[in-house]
Amino acid sequence: MPILEKNGLRVGKDFALAFSPEREDPGNPDFSTATIPKVVGGVDILSSELAAGFYQIAVEQVVPVSSTEVAEMSKLLENIFRSVNIALVNELKTLCLRMGIDVWEVIAAAGTKPFGYMTFYPGPGLGGHCIPIDPFYLTSKAREYDVPTRFIELAGEINTSALFCNTARHGGAV
């Protein structure tokens, strides 16, 4: 927007500007670009409406939000949710290994609960290109607002140590 406005153009008059985070699950046959709800936030109402109209051509459900910031924060929340839960199971994996408990059996048993639980699996890598980066983008931004993000940072530390510690000590096998 600053680049366009620097040249005399005005948002809402000469151009529209919106943000819509990518949401993909490559290789998952249950979801396609068309079936994954599309979050869209514009810098103004017109931009939001135009972007939503554009995406409605290609996707089944458009989820309009009030701003580009809300759209971006929703993506960060999705990725941080995944990072924190992967950290939890990576930490649990380490504990189960030491205790002689099969972590996969524990996860399978917990996964039978039909509410309030979502299954995550331990292992090297966090999935996708966003998960290892996005949480730390937000922690950096949070520092500008003097807000500590210890939980997010701890998840990053656990996932980093799990990538090296668990696979090195146990040959990658669980």
Token pair recorded at residue 137 = 């983008």
Buried b (16+ CB within 10 A) or exposed e, 119-151: ebebbeebbeebbbebbeebbeeeeeeeeebee
Catalytic residue flag (residue 165)? no
Structure tokens at 50: 């135009």
Active-site residue (options: 39, 86, 130, 131) = 130
Active site members: 130
